[in-house]
Amino acid sequence: MKQIQSYITQHETRMMNELFSLIRIPSISALPEHKEDMQACALRWKELLLEAGVDKAQVMATSGNPVVYGEKIVNPDAKTVLVYAHYDVMPAEPLELWNSNPFEPEIREDKIWARGADDDKGQSFIQVKAFEYLLSHQLLQNNVKFIFEGEEEIGSPSLEEFCKEHKELLKADVIL
């Protein structure tokens, strides 16, 4: 536990900057005027996955918003964990109910206040950082695949088709 806490403390500034870079992107899938933001967020996730240590990462087209896929194969015979998350967020309106800009993260009382800070950019970011930690400390014993979609907040209309088309790529022993 101390080793994990030390790692977090040592990398806290970098990690916060990375998380905030995601939160600042208004990836609102429900609003067509944010189509470019959806692409920008997918590309940022690809960069972060590569920086965390995946062997490959790519932004993949769907009939809607793109899917981000990444993988780290530590041993072809090892079990594979597929990590699912989404990078889209709900609209922030009504804006007058916010105490700050919803897409400019603010720390108040040791909590991050911003759209997506928890659901789901924050949660998926924690999963990627846990992967990064395990990999950097030679503790990763399973293959890991990531699939981050950009339509969960609107019912994931493209996900089923994407999964059918990429069934072999997404093959895993367990989904998180």
Alpha carbon distance 126, 118 (integer Å): 10
Could you list the active site residues? 88, 152
Q: Identify the H or E element spanning 8.
A: helix 2-23
Strands 143-149 and 80-86, bridge-based pairing: parallel
Non-local (6+) Cβ contacts of 95 within 8 A are 102
Helices 35-52 and 2-23: angle between axes, nearest 10 degrees: 160
Q: What's the CA gap between 114 and 135, in Å, rounded?
A: 29
CB distance 35 to 46 below 8 Å: no
CA 17 to chain centre: 14
CA 58 to chain centre: 13
Give CA–CA dist 86/159, Å, rounded.
11
